[in-house]
Amino acid sequence: MKITVIGSGYVGLVTGACLAELGNSVFCLDVDARKIDILNNGGVPIYEPGLKEIIERNRAAGRLTFSTDVAASVAHGDIQFIAVGTPPDEDGSADLQYVVAAARNIGRHMTAFKVVVDKSTVPVGTGEKVRAAIAEELAARGADVGVTVVSNPEFLKEGAAVDDFMRPDRIVIGADTDAAGQQARDKMRELYAPLNRNHERILYMDVRSAEFTKYAANAMLATRISFMNELANLADKLDVDIENVRKGIGSDPRIGFSFLYAGTGYGGSCFPKDVQALVRSAGEFGQHLEILHAVESVNNQQKQILLGKITARLGEDLSGKTFAMWGLAFKPNTDDMRAAPSRVMVKELLKRGAKVVAFDPVSMEEARHAFELDLAELPAEQRRLSYSDAPMSAVDGADALIIMTEWKAFKSPDFGALKAALSQPLIFDGRNLYEPATMRKEGVEYHAIGRAGKHAG
């Protein structure tokens, strides 16, 4: 099948590459010429395990094209995926300007029937806005061309996106029930047929329900994270090990283990933005989403919890103190720094006079860009952030180690070498990587999330 994917960011790039891997002819469009140049020169502008290899393989096979040519992109695909960004507006609502612009471009250039698929995470009712924008452009040039709009939200986890696309839990398709909608359903079924061989994964519904499903899914996952973080903070006061609690409740099949790890709060491009957008959508109809307001509030507070443990142990004035930081990305297996808890931690430490030496296996370049913006408001003498090319060199001479991302490389360090490198054996672990009992045995003072009790570990 001939497919166009508009937007070569995280969702668009994974979608386009994986559809090409399934044998389709895919045209990936982006208005950012620099990004397209990177892709056409063999680079990949994001880090996602396995993605680079898929792109290389399908470019070599002639199934994957990257371009800034709008007219060519519209001419190519019978199915046009819109996978552009929907950043939060000032009021927290989703900014749809790029989605509408993509729809208008399709309307300006299309000469035959198209299935237009909203792949971006968009508020309920966006499908109607896309349809209206295309219709307006068609009317302006007097063109009588058929089009139908489908919602096909993505459910990709950063760090496991390729596997999520190729082995989906479900494929949600929202389409109309008229003749054009049925034609769209048939085309989408044909497109996803290679992923349906084992069992039926497609869930058909109306467009608005499909749009809402994506927001509801992310809001639920964010809720689980904030719920567990709040319990972890209480566990610290009750002499309870939150890891034992996690295992105890996760064993219940009605609850399960996913998204029940206590830590420093969620980040990334999805959960913060989507929770805010859903809250904003409800507000437009006079509804106050009590639970999601609490979810967001708890998450914002959670990013300060580990800092509170540091200042409780070392004092508010951290002048002269050096902290090694392992992990900067908001989660492992990605270089995404958007809303990463490390950004809050670094800034707060520097404001208190500390020096930070940071290491991340993947996100160092993105981190430099992020912190350049974050720290611009600090006096020059407080911007004492440097980067190390290895985890152990970051620790050398530091007063404490802070763990912000649960990379596998951090899970089994040489604790003897770690103690020798630190000026004192002190670890603040925002991801609960180690067992408190093991740390006591190793002679390491260990502060984690929800594991302060004497029974922990």
Over the stretch 274-319, which tens digit does the pLDDT of each residue have?
999 999 999 999 999 999 999 999 999 999 999 999 999 999 999 9
The mean pLDDT value for 223-248 works out to 97
The mean pLDDT value for 353-378 works out to 97
The residue to which tokens 């002269």 are assigned: 320
CA distance 90 to 438: 46
| Residue 89 confidence (pLDDT) | 84
Percent of the chain scoring above 90 in pLDDT: 95
Residue pair 83/93 in contact (Cβ under 8 Å)? The answer is no
What Rg, from alpha-carbon coordinates, does the chain have? 24
Sheet hosting strand 445-447, strand order edge to edge: 385-387, 355-359, 322-326, 400-403, 426-429, 445-447
| Residue 452 confidence (pLDDT) | 81
The mean pLDDT value for 1-23 works out to 97
| Residue 397 confidence (pLDDT) | 97
Tokens of 333: 């297996």
Report whether pLDDT(273) > 90.
Answer: yes
| Residue 457 confidence (pLDDT) | 58
By C-alpha distance, which of 348, 387, 395, 381 is closest to 369? 387
Report whether pLDDT(384) > 80.
Answer: yes
Instruction: Give the pLDDT band (50/70/90) at residue 454.
Output: low
| Residue 456 confidence (pLDDT) | 58
The enclosing H or E element of 12 equals: helix 10-21
By C-alpha distance, which of 350, 353, 402, 394 is closest to 375? 350
| Residue 197 confidence (pLDDT) | 85
| Residue 199 confidence (pLDDT) | 85
Residue pair 274/218 in contact (Cβ under 8 Å)? The answer is yes
114 backbone dihedrals φ, ψ, rounded to 5°: -130, 145
Over the stretch 394-427, which tens digit does the pLDDT of each residue have?
999 999 999 999 999 999 999 999 999 999 999 9
- Ranges assigned E (strand) in 214-341: 322-326
| Residue 263 confidence (pLDDT) | 98
Tokens of 416: 């003897």
Average pLDDT score, the chain: 96
| Residue 90 confidence (pLDDT) | 81
Report whether pLDDT(45) > 90.
Answer: yes
* Position 248, amino acid: G
| Residue 351 confidence (pLDDT) | 97
Residue pair 264/431 in contact (Cβ under 8 Å)? The answer is yes
Catalytic residues: 270
As a whole number of Å, the end-to-end CA separation of the chain is 54
Report whether pLDDT(455) > 60.
Answer: no
Report whether pLDDT(436) > 80.
Answer: yes
Report whether pLDDT(378) > 60.
Answer: yes
